[in-house]
Structure 1
């Protein structure tokens, strides 16, 4: 699978034709000659994306103002009277810069069941990631930010996966990229479960990459370039093997997580990509507590 993704950057005719077909359908209509590709429902993607692109919601502030504002000021800028949003849409700043693509029902119920059932194999890692209330921790793993239900199919949690990780303070050439501990560390059974899970969600990896190629081709190209770099350059033991089944350009996933009003100050000058997979019936911008639901 990894080599297939690398071929995207090398001008793979099939992938390029699929993206061109979807772009044409979104912008100037036209029929889809391919409805499904490797388990990905292209017709569903194009229908929901077209609905979102025709339903633009504009905020009264600019992306630049949000980026420069203090956390307190930023929350004030985001306060709107939009209420709950339940239909596909694009959230824009006042200068028409896309901030959020809200795409409910992008996955069919059957696809959602497959993903949630396969993700149950890493429930142990998800469960152990949560830090109980009262203990100092990142908001990403704080217990109060997760929806707790009885007998869940998948345990709520937040785990980071990266095939090539640079530990903080280890940026020199003498420090090779290393797989994150969630992929290479821990018990042998846990690592095997993660590997099995990544292979089972191959259609989701494809879907996320197709969306990125459509909505932000520059970021998609940068992600492919990063995978190329990890494949060709000196890396720690285990990275090359992981790259044979890890090809998702998005490095973070949140599951039933209430997202805080948050801005990263350590990423590059380019955008930071985040996907949230959940079964909420609506979306709304930050409330008075700085949460998005």
Structure 2
């Protein structure tokens, strides 16, 4: 809850932390922490996901428990990129108590899907993700681990 004398919205101009009542970090706001060249590389690489992202949005279904991540009403109509792609390694096994000794990659990363742009996106984004991973290790070591 905001103090009575505060404005409900405030544009942040400098680095900031947004904390909850227990002083847990909710948001790290670090403008310019990622260099302009890296920001441009990330955006350019995202274009490789345009096709697989587009395939995740159903034509017309009522919003429900099974499609809340990809329902068309949840995306801006004029967005350049919209959809949801899961590229987590062994994502299915992560939700189970017994993990297979041979976890499988996400379906979008499997060899027979090599032409879909997702593998290329992962490969091209390696340097940017390494930088962001290092930042996460410093800012939130428990979550990083």
What TM-score do you get using the length of structure 1 for normalisation? Answer: 0.41
The answer to whether 1:99 aligns with 2:26 is yes
Distance verdict in 2 for CA 1:186–1:171, change over 3 Å = farther
Structure 2 gap segments, 5+ residues each = none
Match of 2:119 among 195, 205, 224: 195
What TM-score do you get using the length of structure 2 for normalisation? Answer: 0.75
- CA deviation map 1:26-62 (0-9, x unaligned): xxxxxxxxxxxxxxxxxxxxxxxxxxxxxxxxx66xx
* 1:113 alignment partner, SS class: helix
Whether contact under 8 Å (1:161, 1:182) holds in the other structure is: yes
Distance verdict in 2 for CA 1:208–1:197, change over 3 Å = same
Which residue in the other structure is 1:179 paired with?
Answer: 105
Whether contact under 8 Å (1:164, 1:179) holds in the other structure is: yes
- CA deviation map 1:73-131 (0-9, x unaligned): xxxxxxx9531433332111223221111233333333222212122122111111123
Bigger relative contact order (CA 8 A; separation at least 6): 1
Which residue in the other structure is 2:67 paired with?
Answer: 138
Whether contact under 8 Å (2:17, 2:29) holds in the other structure is: yes
Whether contact under 8 Å (1:127, 1:157) holds in the other structure is: yes
Which residue in the other structure is 2:50 paired with?
Answer: 123
Match of 2:131 among 207, 216, 224: 207
| Equivalent-residue separation in structure 1 for 2:92 and 2:61 (angstroms) | 30
| Equivalent-residue separation in structure 1 for 2:45 and 2:95 (angstroms) | 35
Whether contact under 8 Å (1:89, 1:102) holds in the other structure is: yes
- CA deviation map 1:119-167 (0-9, x unaligned): 21221111111234543343321212222327x3xx2222111122334
Whether contact under 8 Å (1:86, 1:104) holds in the other structure is: no
Distance verdict in 2 for CA 1:203–1:148, change over 3 Å = farther
- CA deviation map 1:223-268 (0-9, x unaligned): xxxxxxxxxxxxxxxxxxxxxxxxxxxxxxxxxxxxxxxxxxxxxx
Whether contact under 8 Å (1:92, 1:99) holds in the other structure is: yes
- CA deviation map 1:171-206 (0-9, x unaligned): 43557421111211763312xx22221121122211
Distance verdict in 2 for CA 1:185–1:86, change over 3 Å = farther
Give me the CA root mean square deviation.
2.9
